[in-house]
């Protein structure tokens, strides 16, 4: 129980102004969990690449956006974890991790907007175009041979 109280007190101290903007934070902590998390994100991006090939073109757009987010988040997170582990000034700061979290939230909002607002409009336009083209005359393929 004592260990949990210490851990919760440490969480309160992490979000103080001094800790967030610390130039070179001490490399205290277990970075293995962060590396595993960001590594799993990279593996998920690879899995989405394989699974997206079996989806329709419209779904491939959404999966492609999610895959790009996972690649960016995984690689950037691993780089930031490495800098933190090496105690690199400025590059290992907690502020950069907060920036990464903010970028991730904005990117997720953009993906959700695309999925629920733009994609249905695009599908509707595609269906209208297909129904219009259904009544257009098709080019006839004539079996004319080239005469020499």
Give the pLDDT confidence of 100-134 residue by residue, as tens digits: 999 999 999 999 999 999 989 988 998 998 888 88
Write down the residue that tokens 């109280």 correspond to.
5
Write down the residue that tokens 């440490």 correspond to.
10
The average pLDDT across 133-144 equals: 74
Domain coordinates in residue numbering, the chain = 27-133
Give the chain's end-to-end CA distance (angstroms, integer). Answer: 94
DSSP string, 60-82: HHHHHHHHHHHHHHHHHHHHHHH
pTM of the model: 0.74
Residues 6+ apart with CB under 8 A from 16: none
CA-based R_g, the chain, Å: 25
């Amino acid at each position: 129980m004592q260990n949990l109280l210490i851990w919760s007190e440490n969480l309160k101290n992490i979000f103080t102004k001094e800790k967030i903007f610390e130039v070179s934070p001490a490399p205290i902590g277990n970075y293995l969990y962060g590396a595993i998390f960001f590594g799993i994100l990279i593996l998920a991006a690879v899995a989405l690449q394989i699974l997206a090939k079996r989806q329709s073109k419209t779904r491939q757009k959404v999966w492609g956006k999610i895959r790009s987010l996972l690649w960016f988040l995984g690689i950037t997170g691993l780089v930031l974890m490495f800098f933190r582990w090496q105690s690199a000034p400025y590059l290992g700061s907690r502020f950069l991790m907060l920036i990464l979290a903010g970028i991730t939230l904005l990117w997720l909002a953009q993906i959700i907007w695309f999925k629920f607002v733009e994609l249905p409009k695009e599908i509707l336009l595609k269906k209208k175009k297909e129904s219009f083209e259904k009544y257009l005359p098709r080019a006839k393929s004539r079996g004319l041979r080239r005469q020499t």
